[in-house]
Structure 1
Amino acid sequence: MTMRVDAKVVMLGKESVGKTSLVERYVHHRFLVGPYQNTIGAAFVAKPIQVADKVVTLGIWDTAGSERYEAMSRIYYRGARAAIVCYDLTDTSSFQRAKFWVNELQNCEEHCKIYLCGTKLDLIESDRGLRQVDYHDVQDFADEIGATHFETSSKTGSKVDELFEKVAEDYNSISFQFMTEETGIDLGQKKDSYFYTCCHS
C-alpha cells in the first residue's frame, strides 16, 4: 500500500527566465514555441511521482516574475516545502534576482528547501559565448546556502525531470519526515486537469 504525500513547490525568478516553460516540459513533455502570455498571479499544476513506497504529489505554483507582482508572489510561497528559484544562463541580472528570492525565502520560510535552476541551457550549448552566468559561481552560492543546483533546458528537456524528481525524493527523505504529518493540499480528482490559473486575465 502506498502512502500519499503532497508537497507544495513554488517557482520563483525574474520575468521571462522560463519558469512556465519548465513546468510545461515537466508536466506535458512539450516545449511551446513563441511568446508566452506573462503569468499574472500564479498558475497551479499537480503532478504525482512514485518515490519508494509513497506517491509524492507535487503541487507546483508557477508565480509571476514581474516585480510589480512581487507582493503577490509572497502569498504563493507561504508554506512552500520546496522552491525552484530560476535564473536565465544568458542573463546576469536574472541571477541577481534569484539571490533576492533566496534571501526572501531564508527570512520568511525557514523550512523551505531551495533548488537553483539555470534555464536555457540549449542556447549555451549552441553558442558558449551566450553564457553570462558562470556555473561555478552558482555552485559556490548553492553550497553556501545548502541548495541543490541544476542547469536545464525546457526545449530539449535536459535535466528537467531530474530536477523535479530530486524535489520529490528530498521531500520523501528523513530530513523532511516531520512535514508529512501536515495536511497536504486536497487535489481531489483533478490530476488530469493540470493548470489552474489564478488572477489571469
Structure 2
Amino acid sequence: MSAMRVDAKVVMLGKESVGKTSLVERYVHHRFLVGPYQNTIGAAFVAKPIQVGEKVITLGIWDTAGSERYEAMSRIYYRGARAAIVCYDLTDSSSFQRARFWVKELQNCEEHCKIYLCGTKNDLIEGDRSLRQIDYHDAQDFAEEIGAQHFETSSKTGNNVDELFQKVAEDYNNTAFQYMTAEETGIDLGQKKDSYFYSCCHNN
C-alpha cells in the first residue's frame, strides 16, 4: 500500500463506545453511520489533509480501541503523537473518569503531546437536558487545569467536529517549527514525521 506523508500524528483516546470512531467518520467522510459500530480492535488509521492558511497540514489520525483490555496496545499508538483527542460521553459519567486516566497517562509519557478534551453526543443532551451527566463547567475547569482545549461535539449533526480538527491542525502549524528545531529539549526528532498509511486490526 502506498505511503502518504503525515505532518502531525493525532491519537483518539477514551472509553469504548464514547464515539471516537463516529468522530473520525464524520470528519473524514462527512457521514454518520446509523446502528451500532463493532468495537475497534487495536487501532484504525486514516490520513486527512486540512487547509491552514496557505499551507496544507496532513493529520494522521489513529482511532484506538477503548476497551481496557487493549490499554497496553493503545500506549503503542500514542507514542510520538503531536496531539491527543481525549473523548468522553456527555451522558456517561464513568467515561469522564476514563478520560482523566488517559490525560494522566499522556502527561506522564508524552509531555510534548497537546491534549484536546472532547465531550461527545451533544445532540442527545440537546434533545433531553436530563441526560447530561458531566457539567460543562466542570469539564471546562478540568481542561483549563491541564492546559487543554475543550469541545462538545456531535458526530450525528456534525456540531463542532470540523472545528475540533481544524484547531488541532492550526495549533500544530503554529508550533511545528518549535518542535523541529528544539534539539536541546530532548525531543525525538525521528518521530517528527510518520510515513505510513494503513489500517490495523479494525473491524467494520
In 1: Cα distance, 2:172 partner to 2:164 partner: 13
Deviations 1:35-63 (A, max 9, x none): 10100000001000111232110000000
In 2: Cα distance, 1:170 partner to 1:59 partner: 15
Provide the residue aligned with 1:132 in structure 2: 133
Provide the residue aligned with 2:122 in structure 1: 121
Does the residue aligned with 1:197 lie in a helix, a strand or coil? coil
In 2 relative to 1, CA 127–28 (structure 1 residues): closer, same or farther, beyond 3 Å? same
State yes or no: 1:178 paired with 2:178.
Answer: yes
Contact map agreement 1:5 1:180 (CA 8 A) in 2: no
> By how many angstroms is 1:186 displaced?
2.1
Structure 1: 5+ residue stretches without partners: 191-195
In 2 relative to 1, CA 121–21 (structure 1 residues): closer, same or farther, beyond 3 Å? same
Contact map agreement 1:5 1:55 (CA 8 A) in 2: no
In structure 1, give the amino acid aligned to 2:77: Y
Provide the residue aligned with 2:45 in structure 1: 44
In structure 2, give the amino acid aligned to 1:101: W
Provide the residue aligned with 2:87 in structure 1: 86
1:159-178 matches, within 5 Å, as: 159-173=160-174, 175-178=175-178
1:11-160 matches, within 5 Å, as: 11-160=12-161
Provide the residue aligned with 1:199 in structure 2: 201
Structure 2: 5+ residue stretches without partners: 182-188
In 2 relative to 1, CA 29–200 (structure 1 residues): closer, same or farther, beyond 3 Å? closer
In structure 2, give the amino acid aligned to 1:184: K
Provide the residue aligned with 1:193 in structure 2: none
In structure 2, give the amino acid aligned to 1:30: R
In 2: Cα distance, 1:5 partner to 1:70 partner: 25
**Alignment length (residue pairs):** 190
> By how many angstroms is 1:5 displaced?
6.5
Contact map agreement 2:12 2:63 (CA 8 A) in 1: yes
Contact map agreement 1:56 1:172 (CA 8 A) in 2: yes
